[in-house]
Amino acid sequence: MNATLEKYQHEVHLNLNVRGLPLSPTLAINELSRELLKQGKDVYKLGLGQSPFPVPEPVVQALRDNAGQKDYLSVNGLEELRQSIALYLHHKHQLHYQWENILVGPGSKELMFLLQLVYYGDLVIPIPSWVSYAPQAHIIGRPVRWVQTSQESGWLLTPDDLEELCRKDPTKPRILILNYPNNPTGRSYPDEMLKELAATARKYHVILLSDEIYGELNFSASHKSIARYYPEGTIISGGLSKWCGAGGWRLGLFAFPKELEWLQQGMAAVASETFTSTSAPIQHAAITAFQGGQWLETYLAQSRRILHALSEYICRNLQEAGVKVTPAEGGFYLFPDFTPFTDLLASRNITTSEDLCNRILEETGVAILPGSAFGMTPRDLQARLAFVDFDGERALRALENQSMSKPLSDEFLQTYCTRITIAIEKLTAWLK
């Protein structure tokens, strides 16, 4: 396999801010994997973070029932959907957002872009972070302030980190992105740390964009929003892609406090001149997802159960092979650190995380993403591993008559998540 990720990161020559900007690494690795599969190569797709689980059948049926919906809807979104989102946030997470302050868009990614376009301050991003936060700021021309985290702190932004940044220019307008469970690390913030971060953000009037798209995939179902402790300054970002398996449906949401209604209005004005409104059939179907029911609770509990078992299986096998891995607490990512192999890799002319991922793909067929795509320096030998290359519908069916309290065995994972377990075997064998 001589094809490399760079081949699929084409430059777009439009204006200064997008000149030389490559294709998003997560989408580039997906295109590369597809191309290699077309060539007859066996590729284990641990690059793109797409939910392996099906959209729940009641939500799919709601889409069928509303396929004929053809009218343009409100720029902010269908009123009944916004009401169901507000109730979902209230009942599920004890958050009190008014339905009028919910904005629905064609994916949370688009809404994040509009927020940066409308707001005039710096964007503060912890490292490592999701691949598209910083490129969006670059396209718009907004300054980015990076804050490096460490493996010792669980790859989490600490209150001291935020204090140190803000103290240098206390009146500077800022948006801080907090994403948890985190992409790429799978880590989440303990309650006490959320309280301290909220206090620091309030002290310096920092606007928080709390990206909680993976919140329902917290393995212990104990996700808490920082909006509980800083409601007046927190915008919650969510959608259907990760916990409802509906990435391709492209439905995202922002929940604004009343104090930031002016930002919502600005974003809605721009939305009215760009995407107009989100797909009508999908908005109608999404009402069923946010209203939920026992069928959704079962679906989420079993999804978490499978992902948690996979996370532990991968951690255990990589650690036994000598890789440093911080256990995940939610979502479907791990952020393994290959620095214990620095000398061995260097002897094979592998000195950057991009070299590492290209060679792993070429020699094992396992596609993972380099840490440099998530803000790490190229010579930091971390990579993101997305454990999603399995038939989630088949795995869920296998659990229909099993007790939820019973831990999933390695045999279950090897049977129903076969491509993941084989990929880890290939990766650990390659390291040896």
Which of these ranges, 130-144, 291-305, 406-420, has the smallest mean pLDDT?
Answer: 130-144
pLDDT bracket for residue 13 (50, 70, 90): very low
Supply φ then ψ for residue 115, to 5 degrees. -60, -45
Cα 3 to Cα 34, 41, 385, distances in angstroms: 12, 11, 19
Task: State the helix-helix crossing angle for 418-431 and 294-320, rounded to 10 degrees.
Answer: 20
Tokens of 430: 């390659």
Cα 315 to Cα 38, 47, 320, distances in angstroms: 31, 17, 8
pLDDT of residue 432: 87
Mean pLDDT of 413-430: 97
pLDDT of residue 188: 97
User: How far is C-alpha 310 from the chain's CA centre?
Assistant: 17
Structural domain boundaries in the chain: 5-54+295-431, 58-292
**Model-level pTM?**
0.91
User: How far is C-alpha 384 from the chain's CA centre?
Assistant: 12
User: Distance between CA 2 and CA 177 in Å, rounded?
Assistant: 37
User: Distance between CA 337 and CA 381 in Å, rounded?
Assistant: 6
pLDDT tens-digit map of 219-234: 999 999 999 999 999 9
What is the torsional sign of CA 367, 368, 374, 380?
negative
pLDDT bracket for residue 368 (50, 70, 90): very high
pLDDT bracket for residue 40 (50, 70, 90): confident
Mean pLDDT of 241-266: 96
Closest CA to 237 of 97, 411, 415: 97
Please list the residues that pair with 123 across neighbouring strands: 144, 175
Q: What is the DSSP string of 340-352?
A: GGHHHHHTTT--S
What is the torsional sign of CA 51, 97, 231, 115?
positive
pLDDT bracket for residue 407 (50, 70, 90): confident
8 Å CB contact between 121 and 145: no
For residue 236, the number of C-alpha atoms closer than 13 Å in the C-beta half-sphere is 30
Angle, CA of 319, 300 and 101, to the nearest 5°: 110
Please name the fold of domain 5-54+295-431: Aspartate Aminotransferase, domain 1 (3.90.1150)
pLDDT bracket for residue 19 (50, 70, 90): low
User: Distance between CA 228 and CA 257 in Å, rounded?
Assistant: 11
Closest CA to 289 of 88, 111, 142: 88
pLDDT bracket for residue 21 (50, 70, 90): low
Amino acid in position 277: S
pLDDT of residue 42: 86
Amino acid in position 67: A
pLDDT tens-digit map of 375-390: 999 999 999 999 999 9
SS3 282: helix
Mean pLDDT of 272-300: 97
Cα 327 to Cα 79, 188, 358, distances in angstroms: 40, 10, 24
pLDDT tens-digit map of 295-353: 999 999 999 999 999 999 999 999 999 999 999 999 999 999 999 999 999 999 999 99
Mean pLDDT of 392-412: 91
Which of these ranges, 1-15, 152-166, 191-205, 264-278, has the smallest mean pLDDT?
Answer: 1-15
- Above pLDDT 70, what percent of the chain? 93
Domains 5-54+295-431 and 58-292 share a fold: no
Task: Cis check for the bond before 340: say yes or no (omega within 30 of 0).
Answer: no
**CATH number for the 58-292 domain, one of 3.40.120.10, 3.30.720.210, 3.40.30.10, 3.40.640.10?**
3.40.640.10
User: Distance between CA 129 and CA 147 in Å, rounded?
Assistant: 10
8 Å CB contact between 233 and 202: yes
Mean pLDDT of 51-79: 97
Tokens 């993403």 belong to which residue? 369
* Average of per-residue pLDDT values in the chain: 92
Helices (H) and strands (E) in the chain, counts: 15, 12
- Winning range, highest mean pLDDT, from 40-49, 126-135, 337-346: 337-346
Please list the residues that pair with 333 across neighbouring strands: 386
Which of these ranges, 193-202, 313-322, 400-409, has the smallest mean pLDDT?
Answer: 400-409
User: Distance between CA 283 and CA 77 in Å, rounded?
Assistant: 8
pLDDT of residue 253: 98
| E strand intervals along 180-217 | 207-211
